[in-house]
Amino acid sequence: MSALEGLRILDFSRVLAGPFATMMLGDLGATVIKVERPGQGDDTRAWGPPFDEAGIPTYFLSVNRNKESVTLDLSNADDLAKARAMAQQSDVVIENFRPGVMEKLGLDYNSLSRDHSELVYCSISGFGNGAGSDLPGYDLLVQAMGGLMSITGSAQGEPQKVGVALVDVLAGLFATVGILTAVMHSRETRQGQRVEIDLLSSLLAALVNQSASFTSAGVVPTRMGNQHPSIAPYELFKTASEDLVLAVGTDKQFASTCDVLGLSMLALDAEFATNTSRVANRVELRKHLEVALSTKPAAYWVDRLSSVGVPAGVVNDIAAAFKFAEGLGLNPIIKVVRDDGTEVHLPKNPIGLSLTPASYRLAPPDLKNRESSQS
């Protein structure tokens, strides 16, 4: 039995944050009905290349397994009535329309909860329902306006976005936590509630130590490339071949690093003996480390450093990263089978549960003009 078996979710969300959340819940056993526009469906059905062998955009595939699809035209009175009826039969409704859209349709929390007091209703927006309600909630925009780009990239270069829509993923994870919390409360009290997630707040919370440096110390973080504001050495280094990442988090690890590099006396130097002193003298520290690291290839240093407990590694591309995970026995790729028997290969759900593990029952759905059997 899956942990969320019997939980019914009506999913009006599109693109990434909402679909990511509902896929997570679907993996854990929930029944997810994805409501899509006739003829078009989710925006990401058109977001390619790349495409898989069946010609489906991999963006859509990445966040839509374990769902059924139903097409409804919410501007049509009959379809709108069907949507309302489906909502009344669901435990959870999730949507990421612009604030105010669901109210106009009568599909908002207040309207639906009048006759369904146990309903959990999750709304995901870009900047909340107040003064920012008219701002478009695109991940890139939030990365810029939420400060992430200001701390990403080299100090001399331009601000950079992260290489994936990270804010959407974070918001999806926060939505998942909020939904599960509200579902637990609803089951215990028979009282539903509204879950509100916005991308900007999700990002500010996820900036963790960088946010706290401002809120608690008044320090505004800046771009530092691959360096860490509070730890050294914790960055990328050149070697005789390939780049090497060192993530030295303790004084003991630093002493071990120095021993491996033939720099034992460096660990005793007052300028480098503690993390605080290493951060203060990171430029000079880097010079010492670079000279030593340049004598051997990265693979050599990874083996030597790892053998004494120092976190070190090379920079993998995505293919190499999956191969690395496979070599560790993490089985990072799962497969789901389409109705026609073809397979879709996707990253696995990372949540390990000993009794109720994630399951992969349904391939990302085709866009079908059909009614849900549950409507």
Residues catalogued as catalytic = 168
> Phi and psi for 154 in degrees, rounded to 5?
-75, 155
On whether the CB atoms of residues 125 and 133 are closer than 8 A, the answer is: yes
How far apart are the two ends of the chain, measured CA to CA in Å? 25
Listing DSSP states for 138-193 in one string gives -HHHHHHHTTTGGGSS-TTS-----SS-HHHHHHHHHHHHHHHHHHHHHHHHS--E
Nearest to 310 by CA among 283, 341, 289: 289
Cα(311)–Cα(253) distance, integer angstroms: 8
Cα(12)–Cα(37) distance, integer angstroms: 10
> Phi and psi for 95 in degrees, rounded to 5?
-150, 155
Other Cβ atoms within 10 Å of 205 Cβ, number: 11
